[in-house]
Amino acid sequence: MKLTNNELIGLYRDMVYIRQFETRVQELFAAGVLPGFIHLGIGQEACMAGTCFNLVDGDIIGATHREHGVLLCRGVEGKAIMAELYGKVTGTCKGKGGSMHACGLKQGALGNNAILGPAQTIVNGFAYAHKFRKNGKVAVTMFGDGASNRGEFHEGINFASIWNLPSIYIINNNGYAISVPKSKQQKVEDLSARAAGYGIPGVQIDGNDIITVVETVSEAVKRAREGGGPSLIELKTYRWRGHFEGDPTPYRTNEELESWKKKDPIARFEKILTDQGITTKKDFGTINAEVKAKVDECQKFAEDSPWPPMSEIYTDVYYHNEGSVQQ
């Protein structure tokens, strides 16, 4: 697969944006600024940026609460996402969804589904619409190894298979379902092997190598756009943070975490880019500074934004009684 230098630098910028955004969210949550519950995707940047690189306008992606980065990469304004995490009225869900429901419907980003599993069936509705309209668009769902044990995964992938839908199932296999290691959740280690049971291709790749992610997802997307049907891609990766912010992670060792930090997708890509003479260390510094300024703007925008007024407390909450629910 041929990638231009601009595309490569763009992928790097996307990963840095996710890392810096998530790190800022981590700091703000620890300081007590952000309400609610936060799950961070630090360490899994290549999975998100590499997947989204292959999507175009009209494609759909439904991910989980760990994939703020998917929203960023699909072009949802970072300011609106940060404001949503703050609970401000300028957020993607007017401040009522928070981290668990931030979304960008115009960008085809269904949002961070708080319940893990249902997105694996929901995207099939979009995939069916794409197929019905013969528009060449695809529907992607991104989820974890734990969600792949849920009934919705099996129901959804079977449905996608039998109807030959342009659905792409992407598992970010980070080794833990909340605190349960994969050895205690699945008899099979290779989740890609589950594809065989549904008669579709299954591939397992290094999810911390962005070029591999881009190449592999590109082929799955191409196949789906051309009517070849669904596929399953297992990305081997690791989350650097706990399942949620505040999780003391007693279920894993520091050695394990450090060994995965050595496989940092951003540092690995920096080496590839410099080895190929595409960028210099100075370029990395410039990009990181630009991204930091952008994240600063996101934070300031969120801080300066107003809270939702009390009069709006029930608006958008109940479909049939919008604005009329009595306290």
Partner 1 sequence: MIGIIANPASGKDIRRLVAQGTVFDNMEKVNIIQRILVVLHEAGVNDIRMMPDSFHIMDSAVEALHRGLRIDVNVTELEMECEYNQGDSANAAALMKNMGAQCIITLGGDGTNRSVAKGCGDVPLIPLSTGTNNVFPKMIEGTVAGMAAAVVELDSERAYVQTRRCKRLCIYKNGELVDMALIDAVVTADRFIGARAIWEPDAIKEIFVTSARTDSIGMSAIAGYFHPISETDPKGLYIRTGVGGGFSIRAPIAPGMIQEIPIELVRELKPGERTAIHTAEGMLALDGEREVSFKKGDTVEIGLGHDGPFVVEVEQTLASAARGNFFVRRN
**Which residues of this chain interact with partner 1, rule CB under 8 A?**
1, 3, 183, 187-190, 192-193, 195-196, 201-205, 209, 211-212, 214-216, 219-220, 223, 231, 233, 272, 275-277
Residue 304: how many other CB atoms lie within 10 Å? 10
> Which residue lies nearer to partner 1 by CB, 284 or 301?
284
> Which residue lies nearer to partner 1 by CB, 120 or 192?
192
Least distance between partner 1 and beta carbon 206 (Å): 9
Least distance between partner 1 and beta carbon 17 (Å): 22
Q: Which two tokens stand for residue 125?
A: 């509705």
What's the number of CA atoms in the CB half-sphere (13 Å) around residue 168?
30
> Which residue lies nearer to partner 1 by CB, 38 or 233?
233
Least distance between partner 1 and beta carbon 63 (Å): 21
What are the angstrom distances between the C-alpha of 200 and each of 52, 189, 195? 22, 18, 5
Least distance between partner 1 and beta carbon 233 (Å): 8
Q: Which of 36, 44, 40, 48 is nearest to 85 (CA)?
A: 36
State in Å, rounded, how far the first CA of the chain is from the last one: 58
Least distance between partner 1 and beta carbon 133 (Å): 25
Q: Residue 22 CA to chain centroid, in angstroms?
A: 12
> Which residue lies nearer to partner 1 by CB, 204 or 305?
204
> Which residue lies nearer to partner 1 by CB, 40 or 139?
139
> Which residue lies nearer to partner 1 by CB, 75 or 228?
228
Run of H or E including 326: none
Q: How far apart (Å, rounded) are the C-alpha atoms in residues 190 and 177?
A: 15
Run of H or E including 169: strand 167-173
Least distance between partner 1 and beta carbon 316 (Å): 40
Q: Which of 220, 207, 204, 203 is nearest to 269 (CA)?
A: 207
